[in-house]
Amino acid sequence: MKPVKITEGIYCLPAIDWNIRDFHGYATEQGTTYNAYLIMDEKITLVDTVKKEFADDLLEGIGQIVDPKKIDYVISNHTEMDHSGGLPRVMHKIGENKPIYCSKMGYKNLPRHFSPNLNYQPVENGGELKVGKRTLAFLETKMLHWPDSMVTYAKEDKILFSSDAFGQHYAGLERFDDQIGETIMTYARKYFANILLLYSDLILKLAEKITALGLVIDIICPDHGIIWRKDPGKIINAYVEWSAQKPKKKALVIYDTMWQSTRKMAEAIVEGLGDEGVDAQCMHLRSFNRSDIITEVLDAGAIVVGSPTLNNGLFPTVSDFLTYMKGFKPKNKIAAAFGSYGWSGEAVKIITKAFDEMKFNVIDPGLMVQYVPNQETFEACFQLGKKIGRAL
Ligand code: FEO
């Protein structure tokens, strides 16, 4: 591991996970990075660790700066194991009596993951820790991403160690926003959609709180991906925009198909949407990963889902996608269902019920075609697309 200097006395220790392609169901086509940070002050402080498999790499990286045994304090901003999995190995090396500062929920949750005998020290929301000439302040960010989440702010350096927030699943040699440029926003957007969309309201409140506190942030150091030093405001503004979930004139027609009838319906609906000037695309559930579809759901105004009826229910990939999407509680969507069937035809009703549960505005009772679409039913699909387009 190659430590990277962020500013005098503060280093990033990036564990680059080049090979991971599935991060608990999220397609990480470019791998990811787990960042820990080292603050060299009178009290040498490690902020977060890395995934368990990279713990020895982390210790080796720290060793290029200082003997790990000289670390005085550890801060655990977040209990999830991509950041805390390395904790037992690190504590074994540096001394299990050293304090691990964490939020009050972290104090409850860390011993549920690791030895209860480690020296966990809960901090107050807004509490501070002097580590020498530096002061570290802690701000709870419950549910961003877990109940235990907090961020650490190095006051004198104006550096925010933001844990999961503002991260990206990206493995590369670049460490800073000015080294990678606009490309990183694609990864940041996908990360937001698949990790933080559910917590949009909390993000907006946090942004207000940061403004109210007058917190000046020169550098944001997330636990995944690149560090925002050139323009930290860019990612903060993007989070505010994404959290607002303002719908665009954009529609997704998401479907699966058995004998191509539902595919043909999907394509006719997209043509109708296009006829109304809507930015529309077909997304076949065995051609697109669910995490890539959710990235597009973020700003889509219309969600149209199609499934053939299989064994009196949905095609399994459609069930999977609806379950995944429902978890994020996306807002401000109009919706409609469609699908082919042979004899019973439950799929459209099941999808429509799922839309109702998600509080989508269902603008059509749903379109069902028996067996294979014909000229008349193709026209009905096209008109459904136009109807959705006009509603957008
Ligand atoms: Fe990157 Fe919620 O862990």
% the chain with pLDDT above 90 = 96
Distance 314 CA to ligand 1 centre (A): 32
Listed residues 214, 244, 274: the one ending a domain: 244
**pLDDT recorded at residue 182:** 97
- CB of 223 within 6 A of ligand 1: the answer is yes
Are 151 and 280 found together in one domain?
no
| Residues paired with 364 in a beta bridge | none
- CB of 41 within 6 A of ligand 1: the answer is no
Are 217 and 278 found together in one domain?
no
- CB of 51 within 6 A of ligand 1: the answer is no
Are 264 and 387 found together in one domain?
yes
Are 206 and 303 found together in one domain?
no
Listed residues 200, 215, 244: the one ending a domain: 244
**pLDDT recorded at residue 207:** 85
Residues 11, 37, 48, 78: which is the catalytic one? Answer: 78
**pLDDT recorded at residue 333:** 98
Q: Flag whether pLDDT at 18 surpasses 90.
A: yes
Reference 33, options 143, 167, 162; nearest CA is: 167
Are 233 and 259 found together in one domain?
no
Reference 251, options 344, 96, 353, 363; nearest CA is: 363
pLDDT in tens, 335-382: 999 999 999 999 999 999 999 999 999 999 999 999 999 999 999 999
**pLDDT recorded at residue 319:** 98
% the chain with pLDDT above 70 = 100
Rounded distance between C-alpha atoms, residue 35 and residue 213, angstroms: 26
Are 135 and 106 found together in one domain?
yes
Do 292 and 324 touch, CB atoms closer than 8 A? Answer: no
Rounded alpha-carbon distances, angstroms, from residue 207 to 143, 173, 178, 188, 203: 14, 30, 23, 17, 6
Query: If residue 205 lies in a helix (H) or strand (E), which one and from where to where?
Result: helix 200-213
Residue 254 burial by CB count (10 A; 0-12/13-18/19+): exposed, middle or buried?
A: buried
Are 208 and 284 found together in one domain?
no
pLDDT in tens, 167-202: 999 999 999 999 999 999 999 999 999 999 999 999
pLDDT in tens, 68-108: 999 999 999 999 999 999 999 999 999 999 999 999 999 99
Range(s) of the domain holding residue 220: 4-244
Are 69 and 218 found together in one domain?
yes
Do 351 and 318 touch, CB atoms closer than 8 A? Answer: yes
Q: Give long-range contacts, CB 8 A cutoff, 24+ apart: 351-358.
A: 351/305, 351/306, 351/307, 351/314, 351/318, 351/322, 354/322, 354/326, 355/303, 355/305, 357/326, 358/325, 358/326, 358/329, 358/330, 358/333
Domain with 107 in it: what CATH number? 3.60.15.10
Distance 347 CA to ligand 1 centre (A): 35
Are 340 and 384 found together in one domain?
yes
**pLDDT recorded at residue 228:** 98
Q: 164 catalytic, yes or no?
A: yes
Q: What are phi and psi of 253, to 5 degrees?
A: -110, 105
- CB of 264 within 6 A of ligand 1: the answer is no
Q: How many domains does the chain have?
A: 2
Listed residues 244, 261, 276: the one ending a domain: 244
pLDDT in tens, 264-282: 999 999 999 999 999 999 9
The DSSP 8-state label assigned to residue 247 in this structure reads: P
Are 66 and 153 found together in one domain?
yes
> Region 118-135: what's the mean pLDDT?
97
Q: 191 catalytic, yes or no?
A: yes
Are 90 and 139 found together in one domain?
yes
Are 134 and 204 found together in one domain?
yes
Do 58 and 50 touch, CB atoms closer than 8 A? Answer: yes
**pLDDT recorded at residue 209:** 84
Residue 264 has which token pair? 């043909």
Q: Which ligand 1 atom minimizes the distance to the CA of 167?
A: 1
- CB of 164 within 6 A of ligand 1: the answer is yes
Distance 383 CA to ligand 1 centre (A): 44
Residue 374 burial by CB count (10 A; 0-12/13-18/19+): exposed, middle or buried?
A: exposed
Domain with 338 in it: what CATH number? 3.40.50.360
Q: Flag whether pLDDT at 130 surpasses 90.
A: yes
